[in-house]
Amino acid sequence: MFPALKLKVSGLSADVNYVVMVDIVPVDCCRYKYQDSRWVVAGKADRPVIGRQIHVHPDSPATGQHWMSRTLSFHKLKLTNNVVDKQGHVSILQPATPSFNTSILILEIARSDCLDV
């Protein structure tokens, strides 16, 4: 995603496990194009986004100490309307629109909820 989504987290309990996720939702159902140095509506989106598009951070689950000790980055996240990606990016399907509401979700989980893989 450009620019890359980066953030610092504070206020978590150091020894508690958390899952960090990003939720990206389009603001409207319009298609946009960049024209005359600004974004203008170019019609309806090709297809509506069905359901929520949530991406779990690859370090999840991890302790609060882990999350607070570094800058979190979602640099592999890619907003696209193309599911084929050859560079290893995580594709979140979105219609062609520059307007999104982005939420960072941090969920505390019990140790018994963690699965050994």
What is the domain-level CATH number for residue 66?
2.60.40.820
Question: Helix, strand or coil for residue 61?
Answer: coil
The verdict on residue 115 lying in a domain is no
The verdict on residue 99 lying in a domain is yes
Which range of residues forms the domain containing residue 48? 6-110
8 A C-beta contact, residue 96 and residue 82: no
83, two tokens:
């599911």
The verdict on residue 10 lying in a domain is yes
- Who has greater pLDDT, 1 or 6? 6
- Nearest residue to 100 (alpha-carbon basis) of 61, 74, 66: 74
Residue 105, strand partner residues: 21
- Who has greater pLDDT, 109 or 76? 109
The verdict on residue 21 lying in a domain is yes
The verdict on residue 86 lying in a domain is yes
Instruction: Reply yes or no on whether the pLDDT at 13 is more than 80.
Output: yes
C-alpha distances out from residue 117 to 27, 61, 80, 114, Å: 37, 12, 30, 9
53, two tokens:
């598009």
What pLDDT is recorded for position 117? 43
State mean pLDDT over 106-114: 76
For 99, the enclosing helix (H) or strand (E) is none
What pLDDT is recorded for position 82? 56
- Who has greater pLDDT, 75 or 7? 7
The verdict on residue 1 lying in a domain is no
The verdict on residue 116 lying in a domain is no
The verdict on residue 56 lying in a domain is yes
Question: Structurally, how many domains does the chain consist of?
Answer: 1
- Number of alpha carbons in the 13 Å side-chain half-sphere of residue 76: 11
- Who has greater pLDDT, 18 or 55? 18
